[in-house]
Structure 1
Amino acid sequence: MASNSKTGGGFLETVKTVIYALAIAGVFRTLFFQPFWIPSGSMKDTLLIGDFLFVNKMAYGYSYASCPSLYLPAVGIDIDAADICGFLDGDNTRILAGEPERGDVVVFRHPVSGRDFIKRLVGMPGETVQVIEGVLHINGAPVTLQPNGTFDETAEPQGPQRLRPRCENGPVGEGGLCTKTRLTETLPNGVSHDILNIAMQGSDNTPVYTVPEGHYFFMGDNRDNSADSRVPSAVGGVGFVPFENLVGRADRVMFSSAGSSMLFFWTWRGDRFFEKIE
């Protein structure tokens, strides 16, 4: 009898330990840093498919979007942040709010689908934004662009989704060299970062957008391979992103996997440990 009691007590202690650990992890993820794995190439070459990073959730304060989401379609799990913290949604405000800066790389919740996206903030509230022949214009003035060589990668499936890169020198056969023109873009506040060009396409010429108050305009650094604010959210893009939808700022890549899973440590890229995001 004593043995059974001891066994039962040990099981309960294990359950309590697991619950406590999950609670602590949930609080840490909600208030401080959220893990994020880059699934697509829309932010190349700043971020590569397979980059693993932590998002700084303290940078902009907290809103309903700070609550964790859990999306595992393979097992039918779809718990949205709004399901947990929906009572905070709707007023476009934040607690302990911090203003994002132009040029920040930001994780935010898509205004329609609620899925997490990561893009670069280029347009602030009240500004006009337009792209003309691939050049970003803010308040009617073009940003500064300087040639910076090419971005080269192998033409092969990448990441768990096995996405093939688009190439400026395409079509490129399997295993061939895929290249894109790389330019250094300098935003009006002096923040510089690289962008990539693949081809002239519809998203390289847009209407003039006026960013509403309390909203932001985002673009991917891989400009011709990014669904972003250039296309309204109702028709497959992102559109203007409300302040309350910001999750946090991406500051540094922790490590990066060139394989189909971040668990395949033998595929980790040796030059991207603790890489600063600029």
Structure 2
Amino acid sequence: MDEARVDETKKKAEQGGILETVKVIVQALLIALVVRTFLFQPFNIPSGSLIPTLLIGDYLFVSKYSYGYSRYSFPFGPPLFSGRIFGSEPKRGDIAVFKLPKDNSTDYIKRVVGLPGDTIQMIDGVLHINGEAVKRERIGNYVTQDSWGRDIEVPMYRETLPGGTSHVVIERDGDRGYWDNTYVYKVQPGHYFMMGDNRDNSTDSRDENAVGQVPFENLVGRAEIIFFSIGEGSAGWKVWEWPWTVRWERIFNPVK
């Protein structure tokens, strides 16, 4: 009789332990969901459109609260409401994650260069905003890859947008790339014009068939900080290779 009671007590203790473990896991998942939805979302860089500012293999935290919340702030973008709540408009020069307007599901990341009502044009590789050439200063060369994957040196410039935001851009094809001369774009109300810093290797708002102007509602958040970075082609799960594959100098760098 005593042995039966001991076994029953053990079973209850085991069941209680399992239940507590399940509770902890559920609570952790709920906390993670709240943080991801309302505060910060991790995002990795899959392409070179923002080189040299962001590299393939960079992992970022994107602040969800920076621009307020829309349906796209939530996983799978459920149509809970339209527009934004607690909205705060992006500033020129912000690097922002947004849902591609063509399908409202694919994540893109680019720099905000045009605000509602602006005119945008590229002339011989120089960005023009509202009819004025944006200040651009040659600061050297940058080693990147051409269309065939070969290492090449390309011109690198420091560009200063109206309002004072300064960042670095590269011109892989010089000032005669496909998108280095465009017609004038008029930014629609409630929309933003996005461009990559790798000007000749970026599919952005200049390509109206692929991206076009981005509605305010489609903004997901603002890129804030690099929390991890690993060399292109390296596998992050291979921890034993981290000493030589992780870009340690990029970790905890703010995104500008």
**TM-score normalised to the size of structure 1?**
0.81
Give 5+ residue unaligned stretches, structure 1: 69-79, 154-164
Aligned partners of 1:262 and 1:50: how far apart in 2? 9
> Who is 1:107 aligned against?
97
Deviations 1:12-50 (A, max 9, x none): 322222111111000001111111111110000000111
Deviations 1:87-115 (A, max 9, x none): 223xxx32111121000111111112311
> Who is 2:80 aligned against?
87
Percent of residue pairs identical: 49
1:193-212 to structure 2, matched below 5 A, reads 193-199=167-173, 200-212=176-188
Of the candidates 211, 223, 227, which is equivalent to residue 238 of structure 1? Answer: 211
Whether the aligned pair in 1 keeps the contact of 2:178 and 2:200 (CA below 8 Å) is no
Aligned partners of 2:142 and 2:134: how far apart in 1? 21
Distance 1:195 1:13, change over 3 A: same
Aligned partners of 1:42 and 1:30: how far apart in 2? 26
Aligned residue for 1:86, secondary structure, equals coil
- Which amino acid letter does the alignment assign opposite residue 23 of structure 2? K
> Who is 1:269 aligned against?
247
1:1-278 to structure 2, matched below 5 A, reads 1-68=8-75, 80=76, 82=77, 85-89=78-82, 93-113=83-103, 114-153=105-144, 165-166=145-146, 172=150, 177-199=151-173, 200-232=176-208, 235=209, 237-258=210-231, 259-264=233-238, 265-266=242-243, 267-278=245-256
Aligned partners of 2:112 and 2:153: how far apart in 1? 25
Aligned residue for 2:79, secondary structure, equals helix
**TM-score normalised to the size of structure 2?**
0.88
Aligned residue for 1:30, secondary structure, equals helix
Whether the aligned pair in 1 keeps the contact of 2:206 and 2:212 (CA below 8 Å) is yes
Paired residue total:
241
- Which amino acid letter does the alignment assign opposite residue 228 of structure 1? D
- Which amino acid letter does the alignment assign opposite residue 118 of structure 2? E
Aligned partners of 2:51 and 2:182: how far apart in 1? 22
- Deviation for aligned residue 1:201: 2.6
Aligned residue for 1:136, secondary structure, equals strand
- Which amino acid letter does the alignment assign opposite residue 101 of structure 1? K
Aligned partners of 1:94 and 1:260: how far apart in 2? 38
